[in-house]
A = this chain, B = another copy of it.
């Protein structure tokens, strides 16, 4: 569970609000602690991907319930979570992309969001059920070196 939620934002099921979430989260990350600017970019991207998925999940079931973004601060990290009330999904069952060298790769225009979230965040967990999905992302405030060689995972 979230420790101590500092800020919570509820947004409607419209894609134009994703940029608002980015602005909010990047301002929080930059103003609250010393943090590597690249980490702020990573967080903006990960939160965009997660919000896009959450909004899509609500659109799929024609729900107009708002999605909830929560921000909390821990001694050595930030925690950002996105909660939706869509019908959930099985993260283990997501299709794997063909390797980038395969010409078939060009048929996959989607499915890059979750791999990006996993690659960019220091920690991430997905909790999904038929009641909805809760994505929790963690970014350490002291910058960590992270290798960007995730080809195999995609």
The answer, yes or no, to whether A116 is at the interface (CB within 8 Å) is no
Is A12's CB under 8 angstroms from B20's CB? no
CA–CA, A6 to B17, complex, Å? 10
Chain B residues whose CB sits within 8 angstroms of the CB of A8 once the complex forms = 8-10, 66
Chain B residues whose CB sits within 8 angstroms of the CB of A7 once the complex forms = 9-12, 17, 20
Within 8 A of B (CB), among A23-46: 23-24, 27-28, 31
**Closest residue of chain B to A24, judged by CB?**
B24
Instruction: List the number of copies, as a whole number.
Output: 2
Chain B residues whose CB sits within 8 angstroms of the CB of A27 once the complex forms = 20, 23
CA–CA, A96 to B23, complex, Å? 40
The answer, yes or no, to whether A19 is at the interface (CB within 8 Å) is yes
CA–CA, A12 to B10, complex, Å? 15
Selected from B10, B11, B16, B66, the residue in CB contact (under 8 A) with A31 is B16
CA–CA, A28 to B19, complex, Å? 10
What is the CB-to-nearest-CB distance from A17 to chain B, in angstroms, rounded to a whole number?
Answer: 7
Chain B residues whose CB sits within 8 angstroms of the CB of A24 once the complex forms = 9, 20, 23-24
| Interface set of A (CB-CB < 8 Å, partner B) | 6-12, 16-17, 19-20, 23-24, 27-28, 31, 66
Instruction: Give 22 CB contacts A-B under 8 Å.
Output: A6-B11, A6-B12, A7-B9, A7-B11, A7-B12, A7-B17, A7-B20, A8-B9, A8-B10, A8-B66, A9-B9, A9-B24, A16-B31, A19-B31, A20-B24, A20-B27, A20-B28, A20-B31, A23-B23, A23-B24, A23-B27, A24-B24
